[in-house]
Amino acid sequence: MPTFSLASLKKIYFKNKLKFLELIFLSLFLAFLPSFEAPKNIFLGGYLIIALYRQSQLTSSKWSVWDWVFLSLITSSLLSALFPFVTGGYEWRGFRNMLFWVIFGWTLYRSEYNESEKKYLFIFAILMTLPPLIWGLMEYFVLQTKNALQLHSVGHVNHSAIYLCMITGSSLSLLFSQFQKGQKKYVFIATLLFIFLTYSVVISQSRGAFGIAFLLIYSMFLLSKASVKTKVLYLTLLSTFLVTIVFIMPAPVIEKQIANQENHIVLSYRDLVWHAAYEGAKLNPFLGIGGGNWKHIHIDQIKSAVESRGEIFNAEDFAFQWGHPHNIYLSNLVDRGILGFIIFLSFMHTWLITLIKSYKKFNQDSKAMLFIMGSFSAWSTIFGIGFVNTTFHHENALLALFFLGLHLNYLRQKNQLKLFE
């Protein structure tokens, strides 16, 4: 498992001090991403400045489909900020967020990191989740200052669970890479890490994360190159654990679902939020209301729109009091309109095609599969939990683009980005 030593750092420092500084800023950003807001933003800005400067000094490589995908995400967000339905709101803040998220992933994809540096970053991102996770567990179980498990900077239980779901899948990817190398000592360590992170998702009380996490884990086991004996053993243990926490000793997330069913609120009023989002999207169908302007939609605007179609308006059918539409697809439709929605679906589709092509090409290569499965974990989490929550924003968007960026970086250096040949 060790991939980065003091000797490696010295070599980078004496060979390229600017790259050394870039890796330091990126490492500090990853360290603070789930923990503290201000340092995270400072180190992200520092990393982008240095990385973009370094890349401007290199010979520019040919553009791939992914360069156009990243550019289109930024462009659609810019257009919705320029021509929003709700003016004077947060449309430029929404554009700024999207700009930073996408440029981060785009820059990482075009960075010149070797395989050991990428593996170090991958493992470091997983390990840096542990300090805020342990603190969150202390707040929840010991200090009892929180009523659910949360990561300090990520915040709300559902958003923290999304982050943990991605990290859990990535830790399983790390475990499989040790299996393929036959490193038994590190297999044991990686197994303990995976179990601990899986437990954190189970107690997070997020139904979406719980469901997607187990679908992701089962999928990754089936796709892995572990022996049949190993797959049967692990999947039997996993299935036994799942049956236990669902039917025999229900976990809090299962009890929450049972209580919601008994109270006839299975979706926790998400249907009302989705109905509101669908009507909100009609206010400016092509370019949307502008990113971040959801809270600026007034119920009277919806009432006027509904009654203008000759329909009866009932305020109880709509819910705008929550901070976002709780659905990544509706969120894109509302914020960036049909254009932004189509571009986001294209982003999702291109990512999936890249994963499929990568798996077919590199499924025997443990180094490649580490990044491919990490990327698969991010894809499954963002677009799976995205049906019941707004997943592609803030820390979760940055983490997803981090894993995608490492995956694309590997493919670019192997000249394997010609996806549609």
Contact 413, 117 (CB under 8 A): no
Query: What does the alpha-carbon distance between residue 269 and residue 331 come to, in Å, rounded to a whole number?
Result: 16
Contact 92, 81 (CB under 8 A): yes
The DSSP call for residue 296 is G
Contact 294, 325 (CB under 8 A): yes
In order of 21, 54, 159, 174, the CA distances from 50 in angstroms are 8, 6, 30, 29
The per-residue pLDDT for range 149-208, each reduced to its tens digit, is 999 999 899 999 999 999 999 999 999 887 766 567 788 899 999 999 999 999 998 999
- Helix, strand, coil percentages (3-state) for the chain, rounded to 5, are 75, 0, 25
Q: Provide the token pair at 45.
A: 């800005």
Contact 103, 115 (CB under 8 A): no
H or E element, residue 274: helix 270-281
Phi, psi of 287 (to 5 degrees): -115, -5
Query: What does the alpha-carbon distance between residue 376 and residue 10 come to, in Å, rounded to a whole number?
Result: 33
In 3D space, the residue among 27, 209, 195 whose CA is nearest the CA of residue 124 turns out to be: 27
In 3D space, the residue among 64, 97, 52 whose CA is nearest the CA of residue 78 turns out to be: 97
Contact 115, 414 (CB under 8 A): no
Q: HSE (CB half, 13 Å, CA atoms) of 260?
A: 15
H or E element, residue 113: none
Each of the 421 residues of the chain gets a pLDDT tens digit; together they read 555 555 665 566 557 788 999 999 999 999 999 999 999 999 999 999 999 999 988 877 788 999 999 999 999 999 999 998 876 678 899 999 999 999 999 999 999 899 999 999 999 999 999 999 999 999 999 999 999 999 999 989 999 999 999 999 999 999 988 776 656 778 889 999 999 999 999 999 899 999 999 999 999 999 998 888 888 998 999 999 999 999 999 998 999 889 988 888 888 889 999 999 999 999 999 999 998 888 888 888 889 988 888 889 898 889 888 888 999 999 999 999 999 999 999 999 999 999 999 999 999 888 899 999 999 999 999 999 999 999 999 999 999 999 999 999 999 988 766 654 4
Which residues contact residue 387 at a Cβ distance below 8 angstroms, ignoring those fewer than 6 apart? 208, 327, 328, 329
Q: How many CB atoms lie within 10 A of CB 66?
A: 23
Query: What does the alpha-carbon distance between residue 63 and residue 295 come to, in Å, rounded to a whole number?
Result: 38
In 3D space, the residue among 162, 192, 238, 129 whose CA is nearest the CA of residue 1 turns out to be: 192
Phi, psi of 313 (to 5 degrees): -95, 130
Burial of 131 (0-12, 13-18, 19+ CB in 10 A): middle
Q: HSE (CB half, 13 Å, CA atoms) of 19?
A: 18
Q: Provide the token pair at 23.
A: 């890796």
The per-residue pLDDT for range 287-316, each reduced to its tens digit, is 999 988 888 888 888 899 888 888 898 988
Question: Residue 420: what pLDDT?
Answer: 44
Q: Provide the token pair at 141.
A: 């179980």
Q: CA Rg, the chain, in Å?
A: 22
Identify residue 231 by its one-letter amino acid code. K
Q: Is the pTM of this model over 0.75?
A: yes
Burial of 404 (0-12, 13-18, 19+ CB in 10 A): buried
Contact 249, 235 (CB under 8 A): no
The CA-CA-CA angle for residues 343, 102, 65, to 5°, reads 55
In 3D space, the residue among 230, 164, 231, 167 whose CA is nearest the CA of residue 200 turns out to be: 164
Query: What does the alpha-carbon distance between residue 155 and residue 163 come to, in Å, rounded to a whole number?
Result: 10
Question: Residue 60: what pLDDT?
Answer: 73
Phi, psi of 317 (to 5 degrees): -85, -5
